[in-house]
Structure formats: C-alpha cells, structure tokens
Amino acid sequence: MTTPSRPEARTLLFIGDSITDCGRREDPQELGHGYVRLLAEHHAAHEPTATVINRGIGGHKVADLVERFGPDCLDLAPDLVTIFVGVNDSWHRYTRGEHVGEEAFEQDYRRLLDQLAAAAPTAPVVLVIPFVADVDEEQARIHADLDGKVAIIRRLAGAYGHRLVDLEAMLAHALAVGHTPASIAEDGVHPTPAGHRLISDAWLDVVGRAPATA
C-alpha cells in the first residue's frame, strides 16, 4: 500500500453574504454554523493541513464585496476562493426598494474576478449560484430579478474558466427526492441545516473531497 504524500498547506476562503456568514462573527472559531463550518469539518478530517476562512457578512451585495475584497480576501493570500453572493442584489429590491441593475451587477462581479486574476492568478475560484426556494408567492417573485443575475454569473464562470456550484440544480434535485421549499430554506433565502448540508455537498461534488496527492 502506497503512503500518500503530505499535501501542501492551503487556505480556503469563503466570501459572501448571510448564507456564508451564518453567525460566524459570534463564533469564536469564526466559521459560523452553516455550510462553511461543514466544509471546515470535512477538511479537518480529510485535509488537516488546510485552513478554512469565513468572510461572509449578512446583508451584503456584490458591491459590498468589492469594497472589502482587499482586506477580506486578497490580503489573506488564499489558495482557493469561493464567492457566494447575489441573492440580496435581487431580494432587497422587494424588501428595501434597493434596485441593482444587471449592468451594475455584472460590472461589480467582474471587478472581483479581475482582482483575483491580478493578485492570485493561480488560485482556483469557485462561483456559487444563488437560489430562492419558492415557499410562497412573495418569495417566488424574486426570480423575476434574480434569474438575469444568475445568467450573468453562469456566463462569467465560463468566460473566466472558473468552477461553478449550481445551487439551482441542487434545489431541483432536492425537491425531486422529497424536500419541500421550506425544508431547504424556511424563508426562501436562508438555508435550513439540511439546506446547508446540501450546499456543502454540492461544493464538494465540484471541488473535490480530498486534495490531490502524489
């Protein structure tokens, strides 16, 4: 039996809104209690040399990430970056009257990706598709705004050659096997424990469950 070589230590950084945050600023480990913690626990078991950093902040939009991308991402020299943002850019249109047009959304999202390309050209980047679970008509209407922004993220992932975690596909599969929208995200936006588990599983399906070894 061949003994695997020790992988180089990596820093895996997750940045986004409340779905990523998930209480991390009240957590002594700064991981929160959502999908980032689940992935941190996975790596603690399977890649103990890895460091997982959570830089989610509740309520943030793409423009907010642009403002803090230096200190909260680039300055931390990550070896892999996951960006999970976008639902607030649509949701807040209906809850706060704050409209973010598709042109501004794409411009700011490109700024994030261009900064990563310049500062960390060898670091893999993972883009996560935001989703809304249709728990009622009020939440379902968010698709009218969000669908166009999701299309932008898909297009940017292809243009930049980045990996894509498709949570719309995850949600469709979950509903097909017996979940309800509320069992994934009770308010349509913030995942339940089961929803966070499905997000972490979807991330692992795309990125991999163990580091490459010689």
Q: Let me know if residue 213 belongs to a domain.
A: no
Q: For residue 22, is it within any domain?
A: yes
CATH code of residue 185: 3.40.50.1110
pLDDT at site 187: 96
User: Is 169 part of a structural domain of the chain?
Assistant: yes
Q: Give the torsion through C-alpha atoms of 30, 131, 166, 48, to 10 deg.
A: 10
Range of the domain at 150: 11-207
In a domain, 6, yes or no: no
Residue 5, pLDDT > 90, answer no
Is residue 35 one of the residues assigned to a domain?
Answer: yes
In a domain, 82, yes or no: yes
Position 88 confidence tier, pLDDT thresholds 50, 70, 90: very high
The angle formed by the CA atoms of residues 100, 106 and 109, to the nearest 5 degrees, is: 100
pLDDT score for 214: 38
Q: 212 lies in a domain?
A: no
pTM: 0.95
- 95 burial class (0-12, 13-18, 19+ CB within 10 angstroms)? exposed
Average pLDDT, integer, range 155-165: 98
What b-and-e string marks burial along 12-42, b requiring 16 or more CB atoms within 10 Å of the CB?
bbbbbbbbbbbbbeeeeeebbebbbbbbbeb
Q: What is the count of structural domains for the chain?
A: 1
The pLDDT, as a whole number, for residue 211 is: 67
Q: Is residue 63 part of a domain?
A: yes
Cα(48)–Cα(72) distance, integer angstroms: 23
